[in-house]
Amino acid sequence: MAKAKGGVEEMVLKGKIKVPYTWYVGECASRFYVELRDNKRIFGTKCAKCNKVIVPPRSSCGKCFVPITEWVEVKDTGVVQTYTVVHYAVPGIQPLKPPYAYGIIKLDGADTGFVHVIVGADLTALKAGTRVKAVFKEERQGNMLDIQYFTPV
Ligand SMILES: [Zn+2]
């Protein structure tokens, strides 16, 4: 390593730059996000072969490997399947101020888990099986955070 004029070792450090970006989410996710944004409705797709309702929707079944064309509206309520409680803040990355929980929620009418945040309750009382309901943002933009969070009911 080279020495600077004062005899101090010159250092080179590695860093990362946060780069905002956009991407085309495809026809299937576009329809899902438009329904969230415009109608506060949650849709999945239903596989004609195994009859599973997948939320968020997919255009093909990951189990049967067949295209999916049927759309099914599911409820904005569901059951927590598993979760973890976040106690530490990571500014710039987390959508909410801790404490809150990340959970996998099986919405009523769906056969798959839906990952989202859970707030608004005593999180020490949260458990697998807790019933929750979606709380939508007032001003929605067409993304997953149009559902602001789920809260126990
Ligand atoms: Zn299937």
Task: Give me the pLDDT at residue 90, please.
Answer: 84
Instruction: Over range 85-113, report the average pLDDT.
Output: 91
Instruction: Over range 6-28, report the average pLDDT.
Output: 90
Task: Give me the pLDDT at residue 1, please.
Answer: 60
Task: Give me the pLDDT at residue 61, please.
Answer: 97
Residue 5 has pLDDT above 80, yes or no: no
Residue 63 has pLDDT above 90, yes or no: yes
Tokens of 11: 């250092």
Confidence label for 44 from pLDDT (cuts 50, 70 and 90): very high
Task: Give me the pLDDT at residue 106, please.
Answer: 98
Q: How far is the CA of 52 from the centre of ligand 1 (A)?
A: 6
User: For residues 103 and 114, what is the distance between their CA atoms, to the nearest angstrom?
Assistant: 8
Q: How far is the CA of 58 from the centre of ligand 1 (A)?
A: 11
Question: What's the pTM value of the predicted model, to 2 decimals?
Answer: 0.84
Q: 76: burial class by Cβ within 10 Å (0-12, 13-18, 19+)?
A: middle
Task: Give me the pLDDT at residue 18, please.
Answer: 84
Domain boundaries, the chain: 26-152
Instruction: Over range 32-42, report the average pLDDT.
Output: 98
Taking residue 11's Cβ as centre, other Cβ atoms within 10 Å add up to 7
Grouping H, G, I as helix, E, B as strand and the rest as coil, residue 84 is strand
Q: How far is the CA of 23 from the centre of ligand 1 (A)?
A: 27
Q: What is the DSSP letter of 33?
A: H
Q: What is the pLDDT of residues 104-151, one digit of tens each?
A: 999 999 999 999 999 986 888 899 999 999 999 999 999 999 999 999
Closest to 116 (Cα-Cα) out of 146, 74, 153: 146
Q: How far is the CA of 26 from the centre of ligand 1 (A)?
A: 20
User: For residues 30 and 111, what is the distance between their CA atoms, to the nearest angstrom?
Assistant: 21
